Amino acid sequence: MGLIEEFDAIAKQISQQQQWMTTEQATINVAIHPFIRVLGYDTNNLAEVRPEYTADAKSSGSERVDYAIMRDGAPIIFIEAKASNIVLNENHWKQLHHYFNAEEVRFGILTNGLEFRFYSDLKKRNIMDKEPFMTLDMLNLDERLVKELEGFTKSSFDAERILLSARKLAVVRLLENEYRQPTTEFAEYFARQVYPGRITQSVIEEFMPIFSQAWRQFIKQQIPSHPQPVVQTETAIAEHKAQLTVEETPTTFTAEYSRKIPVYAVWHGHSFEATLVFDESHHRSSRITFDRLTATPSKTALKAIRSVVPDFKAINGWNFWKLRDPNGNQECRIDDLRSDEALVRRLQNKT
């Protein structure tokens, strides 16, 4: 069984047992230990996987990271674990950041079993970066990211290979961020290539919408206008049509308790933009408006993907659609709105 198939098996197990993964130990048993074992490390061998590993700059021994993956007697990966019902936040990052900076380790993983965030020290040696270079969503696996994990396996561990991939993925993330919300610095770089005069702040402001439109046009040109034909039986075609039929019934949201929030998704190189109508009183009743369709997150996510791959079967829309936290502009799943009241309040103040 290959790495992708093994991770698919873990993802299925998590999906089936997520409702009971309400403690850290339950999450470790169902998701984190299997994750470590798939990478080839023996969770019963303390020479390979060390729980409660002391990572304390003050040498008091009181600071311990949940797991250290060991190689030749030294830690190579730190893993900080939380229960699956915990929304990972900056405080958890600070915790792993503290452990990371106390040891000569190049990689850290922060996880709640559903989401695995991978960190390194790309910006400054021995200081863990603020942003993860890769985030693996176990309920919405991306095969390309799973393949990146080959360098983390016991048989193929290669720090330089991982760092090379990390830099590539970090650049991809920066480009995605610039695509969605261009910065003046990035726009200025391109303005200098096509504007003959002096680049002033007013020139940059004038160039921003031009830059944004040009980039979107370029991206659209990269997407095939005619997807590969898919051979389907009459039954499959009927099922396909049935799944696309969604009643656009009037929403029951009360204006006082609903918010319209811009959301987006990036799936296999394709970008989608939509609007979340978030019902604060009944979170699970929230809807997404995408391409003139207002429906559940999963229905609209499926419609988005089927605009590229017509025979695509199913997707978890709560993990598919993303938004930006006004506090630090950090990317969040819309699923976070169902459990993170502080995030909801920040978005309320923003809108």
Q: What does the alpha-carbon distance between residue 136 and residue 11 come to, in Å, rounded to a whole number?
A: 11
82 has pLDDT over 90: yes
Long-range contacts of 261-265 (CB under 8 A, 24+ apart): 261/323, 261/347, 261/351, 262/323, 263/288, 263/321, 263/322, 263/323, 263/334, 264/180, 264/321, 264/322, 264/323, 265/301, 265/304, 265/320, 265/321, 265/322
Asked if residue 15 belongs to a domain, the reply is yes
Q: What sign has the CA pseudo-torsion 116, 89, 79, 178?
A: positive
One domain, residues 56 and 129? yes
Q: What does the alpha-carbon distance between residue 276 and residue 279 come to, in Å, rounded to a whole number?
A: 9
One domain, residues 271 and 340? yes
Q: Domain boundary at 153, 172, 191, which?
A: 172
Mean pLDDT value of segment 133-154: 90
The confidence score (pLDDT) of residue 93 equals 94
Q: What does the alpha-carbon distance between residue 77 and residue 41 come to, in Å, rounded to a whole number?
A: 12
**Number of domains observed in the structure of the chain:** 3
169 has pLDDT over 70: yes
CB burial class (10 A; 0-12, 13-18, 19+) of residue 186?
middle
Highest mean pLDDT among 25-29, 140-144, 169-173, 263-267: 25-29
Can you give the CATH number for the domain in which 109 is found?
3.90.1570.30
One domain, residues 81 and 159? yes
Q: What does the alpha-carbon distance between residue 42 and residue 33 come to, in Å, rounded to a whole number?
A: 9
Q: Are 114 and 18 in contact (CB under 8 A)?
A: yes
Asked if residue 228 belongs to a domain, the reply is no
Region of 72 please: left (phi>0), alpha (psi -120 to 50) or beta.
left
One domain, residues 130 and 197? no
One domain, residues 106 and 196? no
One domain, residues 317 and 296? yes
Asked if residue 104 belongs to a domain, the reply is yes
With a CB cutoff of 8 Å and minimum separation 6, the contacts of 284 are 338
The confidence score (pLDDT) of residue 65 equals 94
128 has pLDDT over 90: yes
One domain, residues 11 and 132? yes
Asked if residue 35 belongs to a domain, the reply is yes
The separation between CA 44 and the C-alpha centre of its own chain, rounded to angstroms, equals: 30
- b/e per residue, 112-139, with b = 16+ CB within 10 A? bbbbbbbbbbbeeeeebbebbbbbbbbb
What domain range is 317 assigned to?
234-350
One domain, residues 345 and 245? yes
The confidence score (pLDDT) of residue 272 equals 92
Asked if residue 135 belongs to a domain, the reply is yes
24 has pLDDT over 90: yes
pTM of the model: 0.60
Q: What are the tens digits of pLDDT across the range 241-284? A: 444 443 333 334 333 445 788 999 988 778 899 998 876 655 55
- b/e per residue, 260-284, with b = 16+ CB within 10 A? ebebbbbbeebbbebbbbbbbeeee
One domain, residues 22 and 97? yes
Q: Locate tokens 């309320």: which residue?
A: 348
198 has pLDDT over 70: yes
Whole-number average pLDDT of the chain: 82
Q: What are the tens digits of pLDDT across the range 222-247? A: 665 444 444 444 444 344 444 444 33
Asked if residue 177 belongs to a domain, the reply is no
One domain, residues 157 and 271? no
Asked if residue 265 belongs to a domain, the reply is yes
Asked if residue 160 belongs to a domain, the reply is yes
**Gyration radius of the chain's alpha carbons:** 22
One domain, residues 265 and 209? no
One domain, residues 122 and 263? no
Q: How confident is the model at residue 95 (pLDDT cuts 50, 70, 90)?
A: very high
